[in-house]
Amino acid sequence: MTPDELEQIAEKERAAQSECATELRVCVAAGCLSCQSDKVKDALDAEIRQRGIGGCRVKGVGCMGLCAEGPLVSTSKGKMYKLVQPSDAGAVLDTFDPGTQDKILPAHLHCPTDTPFFQSQQKIVLENSGIIDPERIEEYIARDGYSALMKALTEMTPQEVIAEITASGLRGRGGAGYPTGLKWSTVAKAAGAKKFVICNADEGDPGAFMDRSVLESDPHRVLEGMLIAACAVGAQEGYIYVRAEYPLAIKRLRTAIRQAERLGLLGANICGTRFSLHLDLRLGAGAFVCGEETALIASIEGQRGTPRARPPYPAISGLMGGPTLINNVETYANVAPILRKGGAWYAGIGTEKSKGTKVFALAGRVKNTGLVEVPMGITLRRMVFEIGGGIPEGRQFKAVQTGGPSGGCLPEAALDMPIEYESLAKAGSIMGSGGMIVMDESSCMVDVARYFMDFCMTESCGKCVPCRVGTYQMHRILTAITNMTATPKDLAMLEELCDLVKHTSLCGLGQSAPNPVISTLKSFAAEYKAHIEEHRCPAGVCGIDAEGDKA
């Protein structure tokens, strides 16, 4: 494969696409697929064949973002249809079949795209999502795919690649926000005969599905990012550690790897250079802690996913003792555009310390649940009320939770804060991997804190004492509070435990486990007080069992 050959594939694909006047794109990512979007696709296909409409074809694409309104269908001309059932195939086709074009689309299928949900987004990571067929490498190539890899291999030195990533200001999208360029240069400089690149696709935060969407919608983008990274740091072997709970993402990744290998974009002597990279998948097996990098490495090595003390960091001594670069899916997904358009372009987006865009999975008590990509620095208020469309059923906003079980719940007062790594941390939460859960007055914040503590307790690996026993003790107290049996003494104990577990736990899971408690204690102290002193739950969530079955 040479740059010219790559361009030929792109040209051929573009030519084939231009022959088709209208392309009907049906989302076949997991969200819409669970609403039978595959049947919608078949129905549209059958309808076109039956009517014999020329220059029109149907294809399966990745996520279009507005998951709550699925199955979604869009056209290459910019129209979008929501909640499409197989029986709606005729109505959808009526709108551009020359014979029936004047028919009016039933209102429930019409999905306006001039809304803030679509207009406020800026897509870099998701630029191909919902547009290309994730199972065809040619479509990715037609949209400049693998051109960044070509550039890195033929026009740039590894140092220049790293310099470009550093200039972009890209930071780790897994949650902690470590500068990506710095990580790459550490691995590049680390001594070791065999180096590794790993993609962390063990998206474990409950309420987060950004990485799954990227892998299902545009898997080649992640492969290209990993290839460029491997070339920059000098790795010859790579692993994608993906949750076993994501069968569709696994299938598409396997397909993508096979396709890239067949074109000589992956494997030995890539594009005729001396650079080789062998990529393989490793499946997670239901352990949240494996998102922690040292636990992830242990898991790839076939062991219990328990973290170890750092230093040494994986960049120096990781998989099988070799220098190892671990980045998250979204981080790798940003790499190719940065190389294509330059670090300075990327650094022009976002804020001073948080550059570029971030993908969020917006869910919970908000009208537009789904996947959005926004420039860093946008306020939480715009996220919830403009993009999210506000709270349904005329209810009151109460809190927005970011960062999953490691993050915190932010109250109304924090809504005008820009979304940045530092500001979120200052407010008592974290950026996290991108889960954003909106809660209204029907959520009890003590119950939410108990929910997250239950999560941390069951996901604790059990290696270190503060996390193993501390999360159990905190969970016990929070359960007592929600059962209205706690005393003010318990609350003091809870605060003590938060401090202990936060500062003495071995890994990030334990160190951040108290965050949901600390943040709710800070912003919603009155709710704790009501449970403990007045034995009542202001949201009416707790104590339901005692009052009888409401279901």
Contact between 276 and 269 (Cβ < 8 Å): yes
Which token pair is 527?
């709710």
| 476-535: contacts with another protein (CB under 8 A) | 476, 493, 496-497, 500, 503-506
**Residue of the chain from 176, 283, 347, 417 that contacts another protein (CB under 8 A):** 283
User: For residue 26, which of 10, 11, 46, 9 has the smallest C-alpha distance?
Assistant: 46
Residue 350: CB atoms within 10 Å = 24
Structure tokens at 84: 């499409």
What is the smallest separation between the CB atom of 148 and another protein, expressed in angstroms? 28
Does residue 287 interact with another protein by CB under 8 A? yes
- According to DSSP, the residues that pair with 75 across neighbouring strands are 24
Interface mask (CB under 8 A) for another protein, residues 447-486, using x and -?
Answer: -x--xx--x-xxxxxxxxxx-xxxxxx--x----------
Among 286, 321, 488, 540, indicate the residue that binds another protein (CB under 8 A). 286
Smaller CB separation from another protein, 151 or 475: 475
Which residue in 22, 37, 168, 443 binds another protein (CB under 8 A)? 443
CB of 459 to another protein, least distance (A): 7
Q: Which is nearer to another protein, 263 or 464 (CB)?
A: 464
For the window 139-178, what string marks contact with another protein as x by the rule CB under 8 A?
A: ----------------------------------------
Residues 92 to 111 in contact with another protein, rule: CB under 8 A: none
Burial group, residue 301, by CB count within 10 angstroms (0-12, 13-18, 19+): exposed
Selected range binding another protein among 8-16, 119-127, 280-288, 380-388, rule: CB under 8 A: 280-288
Torsional sign, CA 106, 108, 109, 110 = positive
Instruction: Decide: is 189 part of the binding site for another protein (CB under 8 A).
Output: no
Q: Is 288 in the site for another protein (CB under 8 A)?
A: yes
Q: Which amino acid belongs to residue 240?
A: I
Q: Which two tokens stand for residue 136?
A: 């065809």
Which of 6, 13, 23, 31 binds another protein (CB under 8 A)? It is 31
Q: Identify which of 470, 478, 462 has the alpha carbon closest to the alpha carbon of residue 513.
A: 470
Q: Positive or negative CA dihedral for 427, 432, 437, 442?
A: negative
Q: Does 207 bind another protein (CB under 8 A)?
A: yes
Part of the chain binding another protein (CB under 8 A), chosen from 14-22, 40-48, 155-163, 436-444: 436-444
Secondary element (H or E) of residue 520: helix 515-523
Judged by beta carbon, residue 465 or residue 484, the one nearer another protein is 465
Residues 217-256 within binding reach of another protein (CB under 8 A):
244-246
Residues 364-423 within binding reach of another protein (CB under 8 A) = 364-365, 369-371, 401, 404
Q: Identify which of residues 60 and 305 has a Cβ nearer to another protein in the complex.
A: 305
Nearest to 22 by CA among 75, 61, 69: 75
Give strand ranges (E) for 286-411.
Answer: 324-328, 357-364, 370-375, 397-402, 408-411
23 or 205: whose CB is closer to another protein?
205
Report the nearest approach of another protein to the CB of residue 169 (Å): 23
CA distance 358 to 513: 24
* Residues numbered 32-51 forming contacts with another protein, rule: CB under 8 A: 33-35
Closest separation in Å from C-beta 468 to another protein: 6
CB nearer to another protein: pick between 471 and 519: 471
In whole angstroms, the minimum distance from the beta carbon of 210 to another protein comes to 9
Reading the block at residue 320, the tokens are 């099988």
User: H helices of 19-157, where?
Assistant: 30-33, 37-51, 89-94, 116-119, 137-142, 147-154
How does DSSP classify residue 267?
B
CB under 8 Å to 251, separation ≥6 — which residues? none
Structural element, H or E, at residue 57: strand 56-61
Does 303 bind another protein (CB under 8 A)? Our answer is yes
291 belongs to the binding site for another protein (CB under 8 A): no
279 binds another protein (CB under 8 A): no
DSSP SS3 for 196: strand
Instruction: State the nearest-atom distance from the C-beta of 240 to another protein, in Å.
Output: 13
Whether the CB-CB separation of 336 and 404 falls below 8 Å is answered with no
**Nearer Cβ to another protein (185/443):** 443
Collapsing DSSP states into helix, strand and coil, what is residue 530?
A: helix
67 binds another protein (CB under 8 A): yes
Sign of the Cα pseudo-torsion (66, 68, 69, 70, in order): positive
Farthest CA pair distance, the chain: 76
Let me know: does 413 contact 450? Beta carbons within 8 Å.
no
Q: How far is the CB of 546 from another protein (least distance, A)?
A: 13
Among 437, 481, 486, 532, binds another protein (CB under 8 A): 437
CB of 191 to another protein, least distance (A): 10
d(C-alpha 23, C-alpha 75), whole Å: 6
Per CB under 8 A, does 313 bind another protein?
no
- Contacts with another protein, 330-369, as mask; x by CB under 8 A: -------------------------------x-xxx---x
